[in-house]
Chain A
Amino acid sequence: MLKDSKSLKIAKGLVELSLNEEGRVEPEKINQILTELKNEPTRRSLPILRKFLTLIKQQINTYEGSLEKFDSNADSSSNLISDNISQARGKKINLVIKENKSLIAGFRMRIGDDVYEDSIASRIARLKKSLT
């Protein structure tokens, strides 16, 4: 894809400015940046905003994830999974628990681009693949 290294460099700088001491995105700081960009638009504003959005999403994905379960009613296993993954990654990970009936049993957790899965649905899919 066409490289726009200058826009990327600026977007990276803006992301740095949007983070708090814990490395988490601060909505207030983002609002400030967006207002500035709106008040002083340049021909690069649009590509910068696109890259900024992508990078902010990536940043949020490092500490926020989703945990899909057959039954979303909280139980102790969700907290255990959350604690273990936070320990493994060396920082607090917030997990949003969602209900997914297609899993049949087990869980599916997504943090950033990584998906951890141990469900009956995935085992059936693996069996199906090995038989075809």
Chain B
Amino acid sequence: MSSITDLIRKEIENLSTDATRTNVGTIATLADGVARVEGLSKVMYNEMVEFPNNVLGIALNLEEDSVGCVLLGETSLLKEGDEARTTGKLLSVPVGKGLLGRVVDAVGRPIDEKGPIDSDITYPVERIAPGIIPRKSVTQPLQTGIMAVDSMIPIGRGQRELIIGDRSTGKTTIAIDTIINQAKINKKGIESGDADFRPVYCIYVAVGQKNSNVARTIKVFEETGAMEYVTIVSAPAADNPANQYLAPYAGCAMGEWFMENGMDALIVYDDLSKHAVAYRQISLILKRPSGREAYPGDVFYLHSRLLERSARLNEDNGNGSLTALPIIETQMGDVSGYIPTNVISITDGQIFLETDLFNKGIRPAVSVGLSVSRVGSAAQIKAYKKVAGKVKLELAQFRELAAFSQFESDLDAATKARLDRGARIVELFKQNAFNPVAVEIQTSVMWAVQNNFFDSIEVSNIASSVDSLKEYLLTQGTEVCEEIYKTGKLEKETEEKLRSALEDWKRTQS
């Protein structure tokens, strides 16, 4: 009781008693979550505007005789003629480690009923991306735990890698797997007591999704123990378009705090197609001129200014990083759409998921030909690079040869060998959802394929054999796996140990 009175007394003591000067205006029209306000002559672009009943708005259209404000709260509480006042502040969200394990809305308010956010630091939602000088090339890997990605399309810390594909092709699953894998790596690294270990904190931004989908994602994170490293920013489909527009920027501000304080963070924008749609809706209501597909002229800038905020900073600037995994949904596999081409050109590569592969049971349905990582190979660990260096080419050749071999009955030995190897790699890359694999296990399995350990196994039995090998390596081959994990290299001696372990495993198979 005394603490409450102390708190009130302290607030009274700190309360400013000076006369205040505010700039006000009056709501002239109110429709579709946008208020047109007359007055507010001194309002700044993107400034928070206060309306009655604690409703906030953002000034997005500054015109000669009125101001267009998108409203962030309950618009039914407002009416024409209500007073709006400037706050002198840009929209800010809480940041820091207090947000880990929490679910917040687009303005950083908790929506998980776990009490207030334990953070007294705020960052503005809109910030200028780091310039050229504080940046550094991508050098450290960010393991997704998905063999098809880590081997062929490796991602580095600070990279922007787009996940693109039609609906229901496993885009969100790849992002969730990556987050689960970060949590697994974090736990292992912290347990090892390695002073140089750098955990990766994750932010998952859900834009325009069904609430049931967000609830399912939260459940997966909780069941896999990843939630303690994750912040979820949710602006579901039922939320107003202003919140859906702001959510990615709010999530990015939360990620930037980790980056600027010398830590590594990963942010998933799920998805930016719906983000662009929300922005289109706002722009049309604000009566801004529309262009292709009715998107406003600055829709490229909408995503470029967001994704440019992901970076790897150099040692002078804390050595932190923010990796971005934006997601884009295509229509009928068309990557030449307006928003897909925009985001493809902004990012440092893309993981393209194909519906046909997904329906054939090849999951994750990564298209080898259309997927690329422009900077990530520099960050791949040496051991993995050694065993997976040629796998992308082999798989691409396999897909091409497989198409031609349908018309050919008599194949030469070299072609047949390529087809056999390709079919085995395809089976090898099949992986269940929410089941990421550690990099040392991936390296060992890839080494086994490259050294013909799977050649005598029927293609239909590859998946079960891979599972058995992973199990064997986790129980019997821990020593060699530990060596690969610690050194990141595959020396001759390690290779001999691995060969011996694999021969042991092979004997158990026969």
Interface residues of A (CB under 8 A from B): 1-2, 8, 51, 54-55, 110, 112-118, 122-123, 126-127, 130-131
Contacting residues, chain A, for B24 (C-beta < 8 A): 110, 113-115
Option from B15, B16, B22 in Cβ contact (under 8 Å) with A115: B22
Option from B15, B38, B65 in Cβ contact (under 8 Å) with A123: B15
Q: Give the residue name and chain of the B residue nearest to A132 (CB).
A: B54
Contact present for B11 and A127 (CB under 8 Å) = yes
- Excluding A113-B25, A117-B22, A127-B12, 19 further A-B contacts by CB distance (< 8 Å) are A1-B36, A1-B61, A2-B287, A8-B65, A51-B65, A54-B65, A110-B24, A113-B40, A113-B41, A114-B22, A114-B23, A115-B21, A115-B23, A117-B20, A117-B21, A118-B19, A123-B15, A123-B17, A126-B16
Contact present for A116 and B20 (CB under 8 Å) = yes
Interface residues of B (CB under 8 A from A): 7-8, 11-12, 14-25, 36, 38-42, 61, 63-66, 68, 85, 286-287
State the majority secondary structure of interface residues on B: mixed
Contacting residues, chain A, for B85 (C-beta < 8 A): 115
CB distance from A93 to the nearest CB of B (A): 15
Q: Give the residue name and chain of the B residue nearest to A130 (CB).
A: B11
CB distance from B389 to the nearest CB of A (A): 58
Would you give 17 A-B contacts (Cβ < 8 Å), ordered by A? A1-B36, A1-B61, A1-B63, A1-B287, A2-B287, A8-B65, A54-B38, A110-B24, A113-B24, A113-B40, A114-B23, A114-B42, A115-B21, A123-B15, A127-B11, A130-B11, A130-B15
A91 to B20 CA separation, bound complex (whole angstroms)? 22
A106 to B455 CA separation, bound complex (whole angstroms)? 90
- Count of inter-chain pairs, beta carbons less than 8 A: 57
Q: Give the residue name and chain of the A residue nearest to B26 (CB).
A: A113
Most chain B beta-carbon contacts within 10 A, residue among A2, A110, A113, A127: A113
CB distance from B405 to the nearest CB of A (A): 62
The 7 closest A-B pairs by CB, nearest first: A118-B19, A113-B39, A113-B41, A115-B22, A1-B287, A113-B23, A130-B11
Q: Give the residue name and chain of the A residue nearest to B19 (CB).
A: A118
A117 to B24 CA separation, bound complex (whole angstroms)? 12
Contacting residues, chain A, for B17 (C-beta < 8 A): 123
CB distance from A13 to the nearest CB of B (A): 15
A59 to B391 CA separation, bound complex (whole angstroms)? 74
A51 to B65 CA separation, bound complex (whole angstroms)? 8
Contact present for B19 and A116 (CB under 8 Å) = yes
Contact present for B287 and A118 (CB under 8 Å) = no
A118 to B22 CA separation, bound complex (whole angstroms)? 12
Contact present for A113 and B42 (CB under 8 Å) = yes
Q: Give the residue name and chain of the A residue nearest to B23 (CB).
A: A113
Q: Give the residue name and chain of the B residue nearest to A118 (CB).
A: B19
Contacting residues, chain B, for A112 (C-beta < 8 A): 41
